[in-house]
Structure 1
Amino acid sequence: MNDNPPPLLHVRTAWPAEAAAIAPLQRRAWVQEWSADEQGLLLAGTDLASMVDAWHGAIVQPPEARCRVLVALEGERVVGFAATAPSDDEDAEPTDGMVAEFAVDPPARGNGHGSRLMNALIDTLRSDGFRTATWWIRTTDDPLRAFLESAGWRPDGATQRFTSDDGSFTIRQVRLRVRIAD
């Protein structure tokens, strides 16, 4: 018989020291999810130390009070994170919040961390007074889209694209939206 209880699985607001776990997790997720060209665009000129500094700043001195960083934990280990904020889209209403970042560590996927993290970010956005949440995703990210659509997110017709400086490839995104409060 094993006397060690399973690790506690939960989501909470990120602590400053956890920036050092969030940045490498984000890079691992990018390597897993993005093509080599897309990784090049994302990582060009961005070293890990700069990413840690950026996440630390987002946690300790966000641009406004409704900008949040959440972490999914397995015991004390960060296995996922999300960042929420007021929507910065040109057509956004004041009651539109957005999911700015979301990742679950590839080895930790399939254990409910993504669902817990999504539920927590919706609760956080709702607590911050938002009624609608938006999320930009790559048009080619079928697993994430299926996950989100199973939770009620729907495309709202908005699209955007980013083209590499040399024009060799383009990242296309679609915006999903869900009503989170009346």
Structure 2
Amino acid sequence: MEPPRFPRLTGDAAVSVRPARPDDAPDMARVQAVTWRTAFRSVLPADVLDEWDEAAAAEVWRATVVRPPTPAHGVVVALDGATVVGFAAYGPPEVDPGEPASADGPTTELAILLVEPRWGRRGHGSRLLAAVADLAGATGAARLSMWVAEADEVTARFLESAGWARAGWARTLDTGDEPLREVRWHAELDGEGVR
């Protein structure tokens, strides 16, 4: 079996995607905090953002990288030079008892895909998505899925431009004060990436 491709481009600065390492955890927590506080301020509940504990988040990400829940879970980071500018975490999807299993094969779910806003529009999100598609395809996944906040139009446009579509499923999360409605997006894999 051929190893997964990790897209690499060159230009003014080397940009790449690689598997996350334990020492990336503080940078991942920083990217998450900055992205949520700037790009997701209108989407996420204010108390979630105001009570964010970056050190605790770093420990969670470190544990996720060191001891993934299953071999099918993983985290990749996007680099601009030596700086971690984004990351994506993926694994088997949460099982909804009301949803029938697909005859086409297993699904890999993106739990999170974030690029720090100041590094946006430079292809980092696309490289992260391509790396996850390669890694998922190498394990036999037939599709990717991701839950996206219904109000998150930026992520919705990004996924649509990458060939994804709404899957027709929605859920509402209890976040305390205000419920958060999410819709599921998906893309089929064909061995060469998203089709």
TM-score, structure 2 as length reference: 0.83
Q: Which amino acid aligns with 1:177?
A: H
Number of equivalent positions: 176
| 1:6 CA displacement | 2.5
Q: Mapping of 1:12-161 within 5 angstroms?
A: 12-35=18-41, 38-43=44-49, 46-90=52-96, 91=99, 93=101, 95-161=106-172
Q: Which amino acid aligns with 1:81?
A: F
Aligned to 1:174: 183
| 1:40 CA displacement | 3.3
| 1:23 CA displacement | 0.3
In structure 1, how many angstroms separate the alpha carbons of the residues matched to 2:42 and 2:107? 33
| 1:43 CA displacement | 4.3
| 1:39 CA displacement | 4.3
Mapped contact 2:43–2:149 kept (Cα < 8 A): no
Counterpart secondary structure, 1:65: coil
Q: Runs of 5+ in structure 2 lacking a partner? A: 1-10
| RMSD between superposed Cα atoms in Å | 2.0
In structure 1, how many angstroms separate the alpha carbons of the residues matched to 2:100 and 2:87? 24
Distance 1:92 1:56, change over 3 A: farther
Q: Which amino acid aligns with 2:66?
A: V
| 1:46 CA displacement | 4.6
In structure 2, how many angstroms separate the alpha carbons of the residues matched to 1:175 and 1:88? 12
| 1:118 CA displacement | 1.0
Q: Which amino acid aligns with 2:123?
A: G
TM-score, structure 1 as length reference: 0.89
Distance 1:19 1:66, change over 3 A: same
In structure 1, how many angstroms separate the alpha carbons of the residues matched to 2:45 and 2:38? 10
Greater share of helix residues, 1 or 2? 1
Distance 1:155 1:15, change over 3 A: same
Greater CA drift, 68-77 or 139-148: 139-148
Distance 1:41 1:95, change over 3 A: farther
